[in-house]
Amino acid sequence: MSIQSERAILAVSFGTSYKDAREKNIDRIEEEIRRSFPERRVYRAWTSGMIRKKLRERDGIAIDDVGEALWRMKEDGIRRVTVQPTHVMNGIENEKMLKEILPFRDEFEEILVGAPLLATEKDSREAAEVLSREWKEIPKEEALVLMGHGTEHCANHVYAALDDMLKDMGSANIFVGTAEAHPSVDTLLRRVEAYRPVAVHLAPFMIVAGDHAKNDMSGDGEDSWASRFKSAGYPVVCHMKGLGEYPGIRKMFVRHAREAK
């Protein structure tokens, strides 16, 4: 085995049970990493046991967890590993990933770990630039509301920080909130009302446009974000576009893999 082939990258995602969401987002991030590191093999692991179980039982698809993937890499003769998460923040899932890596410190000559999407102020600025560029076709008199997942973890502050960064950079019509934490949809309704747009666009601020995007954001239920904004009197357009579909976001993950520590 050559020196180069002894190095590999483990791409770690939460996962999704939706085939289209996986292909448009997780697969494309991994393809971007593969193109950027052609001399390295790229492995996959998903942190959600529930999703891995569902795919195994429903589709007969087996996906490794972090530990299983690292054992596979060791058996394949990999000696130097870069672990690159596709998580949005250093929250619960990322901490879970780090704990699963720890027992393998002595199994490889080197294990480097890349940062999640939003780990620094530089990341927030770059993500804000990507968002502003990707949604530049939305007129200033209309609003774009992005649904993040949200978490009870202290890392939840990244959503508010990104919202502030967007406003500071001139994207006053882009609002960032969360499905399960702060800023909530109630907070966003008040902020959007103060902006007085003529229409509202909804899109997920999640790696994949999966269950939350299909149900909590754009679903027909009275509590979905689409229903809440329609009830408030706005025409609503839903965009089922996960972050993995943004070229600029994929490049951020590649940069983090290069900067892994």
Q: Which residues are catalytic?
A: 149
State the Cα–Cα distance between residues 34 and 41, nearest whole angstrom: 7
State the Cα–Cα distance between residues 116 and 59, nearest whole angstrom: 29
State the Cα–Cα distance between residues 99 and 120, nearest whole angstrom: 21
Collapse the DSSP code of 112 into the 3-class scheme (helix H, G, I; strand E, B; otherwise coil) and give the result. strand
What is the CB neighbour count within 10 angstroms for residue 133?
12
CA distances from 248 to 63, 108, 117, 212, 229 (A): 27, 32, 11, 23, 29
Mind giving me the DSSP string for 175-212? EEEESSSSS-HHHHHHHHHHH--S-EEEEE-SSS--HI
Mind giving me the DSSP string for 211-250? HIIIIIIT-SSTTSHHHHHHHTT--EEE----GGG-HHHH
Report which DSSP code applies to 8. Answer: E
